[in-house]
């Protein structure tokens, strides 16, 4: 295993299997084997892959909603006009995000090499090139009437939805960089519960469970046949060495309406 995965990377998966003795030295719990460390590592890897599948569906749905609810009515270059945004510099920031992708994205390279006008590509080309983080910021910075239009598609309050997209983006970044997810404390970009969903979240909203709630709620709206919740439960059920409580899953979570 150490020929494929370095020791430092595995170290964070060893910590939950260790205790600190009275002298301050960390020791493995009696009976722990390398197999236990690898099993926890593999669980986290599968969890990240499962989350990336969800992120892809959510991101594509957000792109479609922005096109349908804003671009169809206001034109494909709406994002180049400040009047569609809440902040004076939000428009320019998103344009910079698009321009920064010119060298990496073939569609953008083609557009800028082929067309002189309009100066910027249509929004559907731009959104295919930028990151989910930039897309999330685009939604958050749109003027409120446009955020409300988009949020109706997700059947969530627009202010809550903006926090959910930021929370999903944080998960996406962890997964994309192959970092530890299962028991990470996620203090940044906490999702808002919202009045309608408050019973589904924990009080702190800083664990993977609360991000799983956000993902599950969004997928119920944009990809109800995805089977994501069933896949997550199957992954947990097939991993008896993993304690869901360390992921933030509260007692009786399966009996909550979202997970039934």
Q: Is the pLDDT of residue 59 over 80?
A: yes
pTM over 0.95, yes/no:
no
Distance between CA 9 and CA 53 in Å, rounded? Answer: 23
Whether 25 is in a domain gets the answer no
Q: Is the pLDDT of residue 9 over 70?
A: yes
Mean pLDDT of 43-58: 98
pLDDT of residue 2 exceeding 70: no
236 in a structural domain: yes
pLDDT of 236 above 70: yes
pLDDT of residue 101: 96
Does 16 fall in a domain? no
Task: Return the SS3 of 26.
Answer: strand
Q: Residues 116-156: pLDDT tens digits?
A: 999 999 999 999 999 999 999 999 999 999 999 999 999 99
**By percentage, how much of the chain surpasses pLDDT 70?**
99
Whole-angstrom CA distances from 243 to 19, 32, 42, 161 are 16, 15, 14, 30
The verdict on residue 7 lying in a domain is no
Total structural domains within the chain:
1
Q: Is 67 exposed, middle or buried (0-12, 13-18, 19+ CB in 10 A)?
A: middle
What the block records as the tokens of 228 is 């994501």
**Is 204 domain-assigned?**
yes
Please give the pLDDT value at position 23: 84
Q: Is residue 11 part of a domain?
A: no
Q: Residue 139 sits in which domain range?
A: 34-259
Sort residue 222 into left (φ over 0), alpha (ψ -120 to 50) or beta. alpha
238 within some domain: yes
Q: Is residue 14 part of a domain?
A: no
For residue range 198-222, what is the model confidence (pLDDT) as tens digits? 999 998 889 999 999 999 999 999 9
């Amino acid at each position: 295993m150490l020929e494929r995965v370095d020791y430092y990377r595995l170290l964070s998966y060893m910590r939950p299997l260790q205790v600190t003795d009275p002298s301050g030295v960390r020791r493995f719990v009696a009976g722990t084997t390398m197999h236990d460390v690898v099993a926890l590592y593999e669980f986290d890897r599968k969890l990240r892959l499962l989350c990336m599948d969800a992120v892809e569906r959510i991101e594509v749905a957000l792109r479609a909603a922005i096109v349908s609810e804003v671009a169809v009515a206001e034109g494909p270059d709406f994002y180049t006009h400040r009047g569609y945004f809440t902040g004076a510099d939000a428009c320019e920031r998103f344009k910079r995000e698009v321009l920064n992708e010119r060298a990496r994205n073939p569609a953008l390279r083609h557009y800028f090499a082929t067309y002189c006008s309009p100066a910027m590509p249509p929004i559907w080309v731009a959104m295919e090139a930028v990151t989910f983080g930039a897309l999330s910021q685009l939604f958050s910075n749109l003027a409120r009437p446009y955020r409300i239009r988009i949020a109706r598609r997700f059947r969530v309050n627009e202010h809550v939805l903006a926090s959910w997209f930021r929370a999903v983006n944080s998960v996406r970044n962890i997964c994309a960089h192959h970092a530890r997810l299962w028991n990470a404390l996620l203090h940044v970009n906490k999702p808002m519960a919202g009045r309608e969903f408050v019973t589904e979240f924990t009080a702190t909203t800083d664990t993977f469970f609360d991000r799983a709630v956000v993902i599950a709620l969004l997928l119920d709206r944009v990809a109800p046949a995805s089977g994501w919740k069933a896949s997550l439960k199957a992954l947990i059920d097939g991993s008896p060495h993993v304690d869901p409580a360390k992921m933030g899953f509260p007692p009786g979570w399966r009996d909550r309406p979202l997970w039934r």
